[in-house]
Copies of this chain bind each other. A is one copy, B any other.
Amino acid sequence: MLFQEQNSYEITSYIKKSKVAILPVGAVEAHGPHLPLGTDNYLAEELSKKLADEVGGLVLPTLPYGQVWSLSNFPGSLTLSNQTLTNLMVEIGESLFRQGFRIMTVINGHYGNAIALKEASRVLYEKFPDCKVFVMFYPGTKEIIRNVRESTPVHDSYFHACELETSYMLYLVEEKVQMEKAINDTPVIPETADVTPTPWSQFTKTAVLGDATVATREKGEKIISVALENMTRMIQQAKDELGC
């Protein structure tokens, strides 16, 4: 159920019934030749809808701007500062609390947002002790990814426009993918990239970090399903704890 499609006469009863707000947060960022700039927004939004179906929550309008540092040099990338993104989430969270929500779940579609959103979740945690705040980025998928992935990962922590993300898109928003344009570009990321500021333009020209050509809808479904299951279980547990 989409929050902004409801009207102010009916929304209160929905909030009372569910208490779970789901906020998709993405970004506008280069994703190679085969994926659109809004990839992270589409993923966050579609995953949010699926989650809402499982846990009975209300999906807020997608926040389509995020913190894009590493690819900010690339065509089409737009970025917010961490500070502004943190403030945004805190202020939306304050409104949600006033409106009666007690479980706030940010579905993050963009790795670069993680720091700002985590900071915000801590601020909200301290401000509203009787509220539960989640920030989810495909939680608990390490093992399934290890099983499903065919190409070699280029980095331990992040992935981008590659076999994984393209598969997610094929599963969740297939119509926005141009698989015929997918490429295999597997850069060697220098070890210094983890310890000194390193725009990705230093090691990739395509913004694709791996082999996107081997992506499939099925792989996407397998991984996303695990993520969704984990998210559902954790939110359900929070609902049980809060008795809602």
Interface residue ranges, A against B (CB under 8 Å): 3-9, 11-12, 15, 28, 30-38, 41, 60-65, 69, 72, 74-84, 87-88, 91-92, 95-96, 98-99, 115, 118-119, 121-122, 125, 132-136, 139-140, 142, 156, 176, 178, 181, 191-192, 194-197, 207, 230, 234, 237-238
Contact = CB atoms under 8 A, between A and B. Distances in A.
A78 B63 contact: no
A119 to B, nearest CB: 6
Given A7-B178, A65-B88, A79-B91, 12 more contacts: A3-B37, A4-B36, A4-B64, A9-B32, A9-B75, A9-B181, A12-B75, A72-B98, A78-B99, A80-B91, A134-B196, A139-B194
Copies of this chain, count: 6
A53 B12 CA distance: 38
Nearest to A197: B125
14 contacts: A4-B37, A4-B64, A7-B30, A7-B34, A38-B61, A62-B64, A65-B88, A77-B99, A80-B88, A84-B88, A134-B192, A135-B195, A139-B194, A140-B191
A201 to B, nearest CB: 12
B196 A121 contact: yes
